[in-house]
Copies of this chain bind each other. A is one copy, B any other.
Amino acid sequence: MLSAAERVFVRNGFRDATIAEIAREAEFAVGTFYNFFKSKDDLYAQVLDGIVREFVAEFERDVQQRDDPVDALSALIDLRMRVFDRHREFFRLFFEQSAAGVKLTGRHLKLREQYRASVAAIFAQGVKRGLFDKLDPLYAAICLDGMLNAFVRHWSAHEGGNPSPERLKIMKETVLSRFRVRRN
């Protein structure tokens, strides 16, 4: 139901997604949606909300738990790719601030700030323990996010969104080694 809407929003963007098409995709009548959602805006907000909640929950469970910053980063990359696999384009709104022609609203913007702060904290830990290069933690977090977004976009355009495990591994190694101190 929400997922039908997500599909159409992703396909067409917010403005070009019509209620009629969403209804058809969900095999409901047009009016039925208005028993569940106040408006098109409300529908969009709820779709986004579900995905963000899901991501935040998994982030807290899989990433924040870990003591070792390198493990945490590794888990974060895995999570990002997993979420991407489930929600493709849609969660770009969360990571890139705008997508599908819609802007994030207050609540989600705040969640995103929290997420970024948490990632920065992981970097701060890593630097302190001598595991990562000396970098401003916030800037490091920005770099990490940017790289992951770029790979998501790249594969979205080039491999139909399904990179081989092989490529995923190389990507992961490439990204992680941008931050880890090198021993030579």
Contact = CB atoms under 8 A, between A and B. Distances in A.
A99 B153 CA distance: 12
A33 interface: no
Contact of A145 (B136, B142, B150, B182): B150
A135 B174 contact: yes
Interface residues of A, number: 37
A97 interface: yes
A72 to B, nearest CB: 19
A143 B136 CA distance: 18
Contact of A143 (B16, B147, B153): B147
A130 interface: no
Copy number in this complex?
4
Interface in A139-169: 139-140, 142-143, 145-151, 153-154, 156-157
Given A15-B13, A16-B15, A182-B182, A96 B143 contact: no
A153 B96 contact: yes
Nearest to A96: B153
Q: Most chain-B Cβ atoms within 10 A of its Cβ — which of A102, A139, A174?
A: A139
A16 B151 contact: no
Interface centre among A140, A150, A156, A174 (most CB of B within 10 A): A150
Nearest to A98: B99
A94 to B, nearest CB: 12
A149 to B, nearest CB: 6
Interface of A: 13-16, 96-102, 133, 135-136, 139-140, 142-143, 145-151, 153-154, 156-157, 170-171, 174-175, 177-178, 182, 184
8 contacts: A14-B15, A96-B149, A100-B101, A133-B177, A142-B151, A146-B150, A178-B178, A184-B184
